[in-house]
Structure 1
């Protein structure tokens, strides 16, 4: 899965965000023209050759799902068939009683209001100008099914823990887009003060799982993005055990 480590570009959307316009190398390190000192630049130049360089894949752009991007949020979260009901990334986020009261017509409006908040409810990934991914990432207390789930350990509950708890990547972009989406969501959380970034994926040991239930992510994908396992859980998704992973410092 080396192609998962594609370059991505993170774009700052708000003045109060700690994001900067940076390009992520294949190894996940951020660089720009001013951050490379002379010795490092010299070492990099020494490694250059006259051999043709392979063309790199286009960079993914990951940015907050703010109100001005709501059309793209709709593309990612709305039902694929008219007349059907979609979660809109709300079923696990909000109080079950409120969730039950929300009919299909009310769910887009609820999500739109979340997108108008000072901190967006998630991030979007774009492949050039096409939206291809969504990740729900908020403080842990803001996800009802995690904050109230006794089967998921709440480690370091006194800290600002932000989980990346919902992932959706469009078909045709998953091999590279999923990794880029997780990287961008983690940067977004860090930029808003997260002391740690967590995930609660399934430990499916490489076995296929139902794509409709794979929104929690998989262990292998999380580990490829730099997460490490810190605890087991008593929770399951698609019949597969979930674990707690945290982004390594």
Structure 2
């Protein structure tokens, strides 16, 4: 936080689902929250809805795959506040589920553009602003499907999939594994500056990616991301936390 005394957050991918639920909760905690929305019309609609509840919510057009939009978003936050306290890299995508050997390369590239390269683009653009905070936090929304350890054992600690079953989805799983690697890499660069960087698996949340088959609501899925976004100075960094219903979640293997 800076001398303004206001906590400022940016959440990507907030038109609906987990991203909007995270933005709402951070707003309820008193933060000024920027809604990073690729679809500006839908972002504005979300802004109006949340502001009607008395929250300081501001839509910013943000396509994480477009460096120009990302640069403009960083300039706007910098001009309005001069700092950023919380970055939640929530924007994500995934192609149709199929056998890895039958997955088109173009689909893999498309998923990586958002889930991996988009996170790098946004994070690098926002780090100068995060460095002006006294307690900056970066939260990367990942998935247990990105865990190499759990995939190799075909064991899902969240219990969504039975023992011996672990979906082998080439584009999504490997992009989240790469995101996990990014999390550790940024955490190691920034830990001495007091910037905590963690990854979260929000649980099997009903979203567009899974055809709304999840058993958790977006509000339930937002719980651990918000917890990591508001960690104290003694909180972890370079950790991978999953939703299991306990107060602090479960630590997952990379």
Which band: TM-score by shorter chain?
A: 0.3 to 0.5
Q: In proportion to residue count, which structure has more helix?
A: 2
Structure of greater Rg: 1
Q: In proportion to residue count, which structure has more strand?
A: 1
Q: What is the TM-score with the length of structure 2 in the denominator?
A: 0.33
